[in-house]
C-alpha cells in the first residue's frame, strides 16, 4: 500500500469555518444577526432563517454542544477578520535588537554603509548592537574600535541614545544603542495610524487610504529585510577575508 505523501501546507492551514450546507450536525444553537439568542434550532430551520434574510449561517463555536452558529454576512465577516488580523500584526510587530558587526579594519565606505543601516533600524524602532571583533594582534589596539564607535555615534546622536557603553568581552567590543524616546513614540504613532486606517466600517470605504497604508508598511518591512540580507553578505565577505589572512 502506497503511503500518502506529506504536504507541509496542511500544517499551515487554520481551522476551516463551516457555513450553510457545510454544517452537518442535526441541530445548532443560533444567534441572530442582531445578536439575539434564538435558541436551539434544527440546522435546516436555522439555514432557512438565514436565507430568508439574505445572509449566511456560520459556525462560530464548533466545540459547544450543540455547536453555536450565527446568522451574518459571511463575506463581510471574512473581510473584518482579515482586517483585524492585519491591524493586530501592525500594532504588535516586535521591536528587536539588530546586530551590526565591524572589524578594526572596516574601511570608511563600509563603516558609512553600516551607520546608515543602523539609522534605518533605529527609525523603525529597533535597538542596534554593534560588535567589533578583534583578531590576532588587533586586540592590542582597542582604541581603533573605540574610534569607530565614536564616529558612528557622532552621526546617530540626534536619533539614538546609548544603553550600554562600549565594553570588552574577550575579543569583542560591544555597544548597544536605542532610538530616542521621541523617535520611538513617532514610530509607535505611525503604527497606530496604519492600524487605524484598517479600522473601517464597510469594505471599500476609504479603500485608497487603507491600500496606501498597507503598501507603506510592506515597503518598510521589505526594506529592513533587504538591509539585513546585505549586512549578512558583508559579514560573509569579512569572514572570507579573515580566512585568507589566516592562511
How far apart, in whole angstroms, are the C-alpha atoms of residue 156 and residue 102? 16
List, in order of start, the domains of the chain with CATH numbers. 13-72 (3.10.20.80), 78-247 (3.30.110.10)
Do residues 175 and 166 lie in contact, with contact meaning Cβ atoms separated by under 8 Å?
yes
Confidence tier at 238 by pLDDT (50, 70, 90):
confident
Residue 140: predicted pLDDT: 86
DSSP string across 79-94: HHHHHHHHHHHHHHPP
Span 176-230, pLDDT tens digits: 999 999 998 888 887 777 766 666 544 455 556 656 666 777 788 888 889 899 9
Residue 1: predicted pLDDT: 39
Span 172-183, pLDDT tens digits: 999 999 999 999
Span 153-163, pLDDT tens digits: 999 999 999 99
Decide which of 221 and 233 is more confident.
233
C-alpha cell read off for 236: 560573509
Which residue, among 175, 170, 180, 121, has the nearest Cα to 152 in the 3D structure? 175
Sequence-ordered list of residues with C-beta below 8 angstroms from that of 217, at least 6 positions apart, any chain: 90, 194
Q: Indicate the pTM of the whole model.
A: 0.58
pLDDT averaged over every residue in the chain: 83
Tell me the Cα Rg of the chain.
Answer: 28
Helix axis angle for 142-156 and 108-123, nearest 10°, is: 50
Amino acid at each position: 500500500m502506497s503511503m500518502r505523501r506529506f504536504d507541509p501546507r496542511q500544517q499551515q492551514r487554520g481551522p476551516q469555518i463551516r457555513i450553510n450546507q457545510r454544517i452537518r450536525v442535526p441541530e445548532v444553537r443560533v444567534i441572530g444577526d442582531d445578536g439575539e439568542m434564538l435558541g436551539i434550532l434544527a440546522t435546516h430551520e436555522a439555514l432557512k432563517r438565514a436565507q430568508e434574510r439574505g445572509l449566511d449561517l456560520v459556525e462560530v463555536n464548533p466545540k459547544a454542544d450543540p455547536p453555536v452558529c450565527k446568522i451574518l454576512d459571511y463575506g463581510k465577516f471574512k473581510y473584518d477578520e482579515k482586517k483585524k488580523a492585519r491591524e493586530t500584526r501592525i500594532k504588535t510587530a516586535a521591536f528587536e535588537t539588530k546586530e551590526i558587526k565591524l572589524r578594526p579594519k572596516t574601511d570608511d565606505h563600509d563603516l558609512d554603509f553600516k551607520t546608515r543601516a543602523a539609522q534605518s533600524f533605529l527609525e523603525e524602532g529597533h535597538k542596534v548592537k554593534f560588535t567589533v571583533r578583534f583578531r590576532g594582534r588587533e586586540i592590542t589596539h582597542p582604541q581603533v574600535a573605540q574610534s569607530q564607535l565614536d564616529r558612528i555615534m557622532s552621526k546617530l546622536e540626534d536619533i539614538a541614545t546609548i544603553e550600554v557603553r562600549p565594553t570588552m568581552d574577550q575579543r569583542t567590543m560591544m555597544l548597544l544603542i536605542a532610538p530616542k524616546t521621541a523617535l520611538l513614540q513617532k514610530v509607535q504613532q505611525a503604527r497606530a495610524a496604519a492600524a487605524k486606517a484598517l479600522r473601517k466600517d464597510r469594505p471599500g470605504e476609504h479603500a485608497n487610504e487603507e491600500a496606501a497604508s498597507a503598501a507603506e508598511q510592506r515597503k518598510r518591512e521589505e526594506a529592513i529585510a533587504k538591509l539585513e540580507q546585505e549586512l549578512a553578505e558583508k559579514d560573509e565577505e569579512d569572514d572570507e577575508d579573515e580566512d585568507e589572512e589566516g592562511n
